[in-house]
Amino acid sequence: MPIDFRNLNTFWSSILVETLKRLGLTTAVICPGSRSTPLTVAFAQNSEIEAIPVIDERSAAFFSLGMAKKSGLPVALVCTSGTAGANFYPA
């Protein structure tokens, strides 16, 4: 599926995800939200990075922490703007 680069957020999100892939990222845990849609779509369209959706931000943080500890590899976390990121703090 071709990517529509008329939106600058889509363009830069795809570049960021491609860069993370080249640096060795293999997994992203995504808490979907409207403001993070371009980043979420970029992860979902990259077949070499496993994108795992988790609705609850706090659960996603602990889930990704467990994955990172077990595998020894970094795991990306994506959430929307506002207070959503604060739910990652307990992990």
Among 74, 16, 66, 73, residue whose Cα is nearest residue 41: 16
The pLDDT tens digits of the residues spanning 16-51 come to 999 999 999 999 999 988 899 999 999 999 999 999
Q: Which H/E stretch holds residue 42? A: helix 37-45
> Pick the residue with more confidence: 4 or 1?
4
Q: What is the SS3 assignment for 77?
A: strand
- Mean pLDDT for 2-8 is 71
Does residue 65 sit within a domain? yes
Q: What is the SS3 assignment for 29?
A: strand
Position of tokens 């491609």? 18
Give the pLDDT confidence score for residue 1 in this predicted structure: 53
Name the domain count of the chain. 1
Position of tokens 């570049």? 15
Does residue 8 sit within a domain? no
Does residue 19 sit within a domain? no
Q: Could you list the residue range(s) of the whole structural domain that residue 60 is in?
A: 25-81
> What does the alpha-carbon distance between residue 45 and residue 62 come to, in Å, rounded to a whole number?
24
Task: State yes or no: pLDDT of 2 exceeds 80.
Answer: no
- Mean pLDDT for 75-86 is 92
> Pick the residue with more confidence: 69 or 7?
69
Does residue 90 sit within a domain? no
